[in-house]
Amino acid sequence: MEVLKQELKENIIEQLNLEDITVEDIADNDILFGDGLGLDSIDALELIVMLDKNYGIKLTDPKEGREIFGSIEIMAKYITEHRTK
Amino acid sequence: MSKGVAITGMGIVSAIGNNVAENYQSLINSDKGISKISKIDTIHKNDIMVGEIASTNSELEQQLGLSADNNYSRTALLGAIAAKQAAQNAKILNINTYKTGLISSTSVGGMDMTETYYYDYLENKSSQKYIDGHHAGDSSQKIAEQLGIKQNLVTTISTACSSAANAIMFGARLIKSGKLDRVIVGGADCLSKFTINGFKTLMILSDTYNTPFDENRKGLNLGEAAAFLVLESDKVIAAEKKEVLAYVKGYGNANDAYHQTASSENGDGATLAMQKALKVANYTAKDIDYINAHGTATGNNDLSEGRAILRVFEDNVPDFSSTKAYTGHTLAAAGAIEAVYAVLALQNNIIYPNLNFKTQMKEFDITPQLELKEKELQTVLSNSLGFGGNCSTLIFSKEQ
Amino acid sequence: MSAVYISGLGSISCQKTFDNNEFLDEIITYTDTVITAVNPNYKEYIKPAAARRMAKGIKMGVVASRIALNDANKEQIDAIITGTGMGCVRDSEKFVSTIIDNNEQYLTPTSFIQSTHNTVGGQIALELQCKGYNFTYVHASVSFESALLDASLQLENDEANTILIGGVDELGDHTVAIHKIVNHIKPEKIDSTALLNATTEGAVFGEGANFFVVSNKKQASNYAEVLSVTTYNTVSKNKIEELAQEFLQDNDISIGDIDAIVLGNNGDVKHDSFYHELSSGIFQNTQQIYYKHLCGEFNTASSFGVWLASKILKTQHLPDVVKINNKSITNYTTILLYNQYRGENHSFTLLRKC
């Protein structure tokens, strides 16, 4: 799970072009959306594509993303349970 | 200031008809034009439905009598055909008798060709003619040429889904200011992989028939279309004893300033646009007999627009419906095709049904008009709400 | 009818023009076929959360508008009207190429969203929380003039008091490549100082954003009054002089009243002939100015011309680098601008000192 969490942090920074942020800046339990890292609904859509492309998880309703992307910890758990890649 | 600007001609090509009469017949017969896509080969073809125009590009080129070396994109083809219909409908014999301009609009432009020949351009000479045709203004230049407009004001607006409504608005203002005696206004957009994939990434495309204002709506169907109106000044109407179809009575554009693609929950931009339009028309909310809503059947739009309608009309919400279940969402052209439908509604005293509706939205208790309804109409309000928070409202009236 | 004034401006171009305290003090000469904008420090103006999504054109537009607003001392405006010929080219290229390269799979929304032509206008509105009128014109070399015309109509009729307008276009690799293939871009590198007398087809492409705050309020700090702007989709070469005369007559101005004419010569031997008709004809005794050797050619390059003319009227200084001829004018009061691109979409703009 640690490797996955590291991977997720790197992917998020790259995919969302978070130029000023490093992996060290994101704690496992930091809130990603809204007040935390400040990600928004467009970022959620980007992450949905990432889930599909990297882990083979297809979400059909964008609203599902809200919970799954709560934090790195929550994401990692969800991916571990549902990944097909 | 609140005097309406006369509409003397209309032209339209959409998934529900190749001219005004055909479109009207489809509307009153609840004949929707939504189907699986046939002319574009996309991996999403089984996951989406669209409002596609039956004619192939070859057929459209033939209709216009274009030579084989033409570089018209599908957007330009549709636009030229609709614009010529409008000029003919307005009985314009010599376009240069009066100072005549063209305000067109598009979001796709020549992207249908660019996406097809993107890499081909670098290798093959034969496709390179389309390079010139990519930019948004090119289709307008071609339409102007088809109409015979020379040495005059021709420009193009691109504000996503409110584009054509804005073109109509600007045209009306140019007539009022005396800068032009006559102006052809409207827009055109064709289907493209670019927009299909673009909307797919936003996860707002439905895999079935779109259901505006329905609780279980799943998203929009993309469509393609072109429509134009001819607006003429009072001076020309009098001199030529022109028959007036209806008037552009009010208009307003405002910005939601909330998010790049989503509308604010309480529909601030739409509310402001409707209020501005009423003000220009010197109307109160009670003066509106029918609303042709933007109603794209996305979760966000219908909620936002519904709330805006309630804010503006309060306890007096008039009959309203979206016609996008018929045509799909034709992006930049939407404001123009819906303007044509608004004028037809006024001429025939008809309110179109909001098709495919099953379940009331839980957020409010206003229900769209579900059946075709005959009703004496003096005014119709039409909304077109686009990306970038761009919200536009037009009001059409029978009397000036 | 109220008058229309330019009360603030901001420019990002292939010269260092983003600092309003300077006026072409240092000139960058280029020897190339494509030149790129000199960037301000975008981080000073745009938060990282927003900047991470913005391609160059959007950044240029947002920052040039911010500079113009600061210059006019304005926090809020009534309307935002932008012009762009090619729109957000880089995001469009990114999205199309990804569609093709990945066979429509794993596409992400950001470049699609950013590719819509009205993104700059929408972004500025978001930032300023401006809920007012917001239009984007996309008609080749009259994109900016359409925005100016729209704004002028509103100000003249007191429908608004302060409007932000601007022209912006950016370069994209694929777009440049294909325009080279069809000879819209010069086949060989050329020194910018030699542009005026170039003998080859095609132009030197550039990019930039030039934004203005226009208002109907008379102020000492105004740069210029906008007397008139007119556009034409087509003009025959043999009609251009007549059209210029008509335009001036409509504004009660004679040729002799024009202190300088700003021309859009871009070094394309085929299409610069429109400018020669005027410069060797009725304007042969007028101070002639050109600017595309500084900013490059792009659909909204004429907005740089307006920036230049505004600065000349305010400072009463004509930099040597933009002179075509030398008429030793001491007092600049009325300036005419004329532009077209590849023989189409012509415009006349008339500015007067305040």
The pLDDT tens digits of the residues spanning C60-80 come to 999 999 999 999 999 999 999
DSSP, collapsed to helix, strand or coil, labels residue C279 as helix
pLDDT range class, residue B399, cuts 50, 70, 90: very high
Integer Cα distance of C32 and A13 in angstroms: 36
Strand partners, C297: C205
Residues of C in contact with A36 (CB under 8 A): none
Which ranges in chain C belong to alpha helices (H)?
Answer: 48-51, 56-71, 89-101, 110-115, 119-128, 143-156, 173-181, 240-250, 273-279, 292-295, 302-315
ipTM exceeding the 0.85 mark: yes
In this complex, which of C105, C128, C140 lies closest to B137 when CB atoms are compared? C140
| Angle of the B57-64 helix axis to the B74-89 helix axis, nearest 10 | 40
**Considering only residues 199 to 228 of chain C, which have any Cβ-Cβ distance to chain B shorter than 8 Å?**
none
Interchain contact, B135 vs C108, CB within 8 Å? no
Quick one: closest CA in B to A40, which residue? B259
Rounded average pLDDT over C304-318: 98
Q: Give the HSE-up count for residue C130: Cα atoms under 13 Å, Cβ half-sphere.
A: 23
DSSP, collapsed to helix, strand or coil, labels residue B9 as strand
pLDDT range class, residue C192, cuts 50, 70, 90: very high
Q: Give the HSE-up count for residue B167: Cα atoms under 13 Å, Cβ half-sphere.
A: 40
| Amino acid, single-letter form, for residue C176 | V
Give pLDDT, residue C299: 98
Residues of A in contact with B262 (CB under 8 A): 41
**Which position has the token pair 């132009």?**
C203
Span B287-345, pLDDT tens digits: 999 999 999 999 999 999 999 999 999 999 999 999 999 999 999 999 999 999 999 99
Residues of B in contact with C117 (CB under 8 A): 107, 136, 158-160
**Considering only residues 39 to 58 of chain C, which have any Cβ-Cβ distance to chain A shorter than 8 Å?**
48-49, 51-53
Rounded average pLDDT over B388-398: 95
Instruction: Give catalytic residue positions of B.
Output: 161, 294, 329
Rounded average pLDDT over C250-260: 97
Residue from B43, B201, B203, B205 to probe the interface with A (highest A Cβ count within 10 Å): B203
Task: Confirm if B47 and B377 have CB atoms less than 8 A apart.
Answer: no
In this complex, which of C113, C135, C232 lies closest to B159 when CB atoms are compared? C135
- With an 8 Å Cβ cutoff, the interface of chain B facing chain A consists of 201-203, 259-262
Quick one: closest CA in C to B120, which residue? C178
Query: Cβ contacts of residue B92 below 8 Å, gap of 6+?
Result: B9, B182, B230
Span B168-198, pLDDT tens digits: 999 999 999 999 999 999 999 999 999 999 9
Task: Confirm if B115 and B193 have CB atoms less than 8 A apart.
Answer: yes
Residues of C in contact with B261 (CB under 8 A): 113
Task: Confirm if C37 and C63 have CB atoms less than 8 A apart.
Answer: no
pLDDT range class, residue B1, cuts 50, 70, 90: low
Give pLDDT, residue A61: 84
Tokens of C321: 């680098």
Quick one: closest CA in C to A58, which residue? C106
Rounded average pLDDT over C335-349: 98
pLDDT range class, residue B114, cuts 50, 70, 90: very high
Cα of A39 to nearest chain B Cα, Å: 13
Chain B contact present for C86, CB below 8 A:
yes
Rounded average pLDDT over B229-235: 98
Interchain contact, C109 vs A46, CB within 8 Å? yes
Span C202-222, pLDDT tens digits: 999 999 999 999 999 999 999
Backbone angles phi, psi at C51, to 5 degrees: -60, -30
pTM: 0.97
Give pLDDT, residue C251: 97
Give pLDDT, residue A72: 94
Give pLDDT, residue C219: 95
DSSP, collapsed to helix, strand or coil, labels residue C230 as strand
Rounded average pLDDT over B266-280: 96
- With an 8 Å Cβ cutoff, the interface of chain A facing chain B consists of 40-42, 45, 48-49, 60-62
Cα of A26 to nearest chain B Cα, Å: 25
Angle at the Cα of C106 from the Cα atoms of C100 and C108, rounded to 5 degrees: 95
Rounded average pLDDT over C301-316: 98
Interchain contact, C142 vs B387, CB within 8 Å? no
Rounded average pLDDT over B70-77: 98
Give pLDDT, residue C144: 98
% of chain B surpassing 90 pLDDT = 96
Integer Cα distance of C6 and C89 in angstroms: 29
Give pLDDT, residue B2: 84
- Closest C-alpha to C23, from C328, C321, C347, C354: C321
| Amino acid, single-letter form, for residue C291 | Y
Task: Burial-class residue B31 by CB neighbours within 10 Å (0-12, 13-18, 19+).
Answer: middle
Interchain contact, C85 vs B390, CB within 8 Å? no
In the predicted model, what is the mean pLDDT of chain A?
91
Interchain contact, C106 vs A49, CB within 8 Å? yes
Task: Confirm if C274 and C237 have CB atoms less than 8 A apart.
Answer: yes
Rounded average pLDDT over B376-399: 95
Cα of A44 to nearest chain C Cα, Å: 10
Tokens of C243: 């059209």
Interchain contact, A45 vs C108, CB within 8 Å? yes
Q: Is the per-residue pLDDT at A36 higher than 80?
A: no
Interchain contact, C108 vs A52, CB within 8 Å? no
Quick one: closest CA in A to B203, which residue? A62
Interchain contact, A41 vs B262, CB within 8 Å? yes
Span B145-162, pLDDT tens digits: 999 999 999 999 999 999
What HEC string does A45-82 produce?
HHHHHHHHHHHCCCCCCHHHHHHHCCCHHHHHHHHHHH
Residues of C in contact with B99 (CB under 8 A): none
Chain C contact present for A35, CB below 8 A:
no
Residue from A33, A40, A43, A48 to probe the interface with C (highest C Cβ count within 10 Å): A43
Please give the radius of gyration of chain A, using alpha carbons only, rounded to the nearest integer.
Answer: 12
Residues of B in contact with C130 (CB under 8 A): 255, 257
Give pLDDT, residue A34: 79
Tokens of B194: 């670019």
Quick one: closest CA in C to A38, which residue? C49
Tokens of C83: 């012009």
Quick one: closest CA in C to A37, which residue? C49
Strand partners, B391: B254, B385
Task: Confirm if B294 and B334 have CB atoms less than 8 A apart.
Answer: yes
Residue from A42, A58, A59, A64 to probe the interface with B (highest B Cβ count within 10 Å): A42
